[in-house]
Amino acid sequence: MRMSLPLIGIIFLSIFLTFCGSNRKAEGSFTEEELSWLVYKNGDNILFQNPDSIGDEVTLFISGQKDPAQLRNYYPIEAEVTVGNPEKGEYFKVYLLKDELEFKRYLKFGEVYRAFDLVEPLAEYKVGDIIYKDVYIFKEDSSSTESKISEVYFAKGYGVVQYNTREGGSFQLLNNQTIDTKK
């Protein structure tokens, strides 16, 4: 009986060390395909126009971009970019999250993160003279007045192509323009 007690102790110690050794975080990174959801660069400006009101234009500024590759070098990894206009109080955030098994995309406006996986994209959506494919439409479904945005139209590779405000304004991406201010 005495001989089996040290053997049991060695077995438990081996199991304990095995679990502790496997608790290291796996390193990870986003693929280029996954990063294609973050189409903006810090410092860029995006021009939107209200098609119903000539001269009614809004410039959204890219700010608050976190390292687009990842925030940490282990899972889960994250990346995000903030798009907004401080004068108008209109903001969006594109957020990516990845672990060993899944890649998730979210759009935040107001105080809610909305998952792309829960929205069925439109096959095509026309903005001005441009037809975008696979456009996701996110609607503000709460009674919260924290966001001035009521709907956001998002196309992979282009970002926000249209958004609507609570006041009834509709703003469309003007000729697919992103103004690179770093030139």
Within 10 angstroms of residue 17's Cβ, the number of other Cβ atoms is 10
User: Which sign does the torsion angle of CA 161, 64, 115, 180 carry?
Assistant: positive
Q: What is the mean pLDDT of residues 110-115?
A: 86
Q: How far from 169 is each of 5, 86, 103, CA to CA, in Å?
A: 76, 17, 33
Question: What residues pair up with 107 in beta bridges, in sequence order?
Answer: 94, 114
Residue 138 has a pLDDT of 93
Q: For residue range 16-53, what is the model confidence (pLDDT) as tens digits?
A: 444 444 444 556 778 888 888 888 877 888 888 888 87
Mean of the pLDDT values across residues 137-146? 74
Q: Around 137, how many Cα atoms within 13 Å sit in the side-chain half-sphere?
A: 11
For the residues 123-146, what does the mean pLDDT come to?
84
pLDDT-derived band at 85, boundaries 50, 70, 90: confident
**Which residues, including other chains, have CB under 8 Å from residue 97's CB and lie 6 or more apart?**
76, 77, 78, 103, 104, 105, 106
How far, in Å, CA of 51 to CA of 25, rounded?
Answer: 50
Percentage of the chain modeled with pLDDT above 90: 23
- Give the range among 79-93, 94-108, 138-152 with minimum mean pLDDT: 138-152
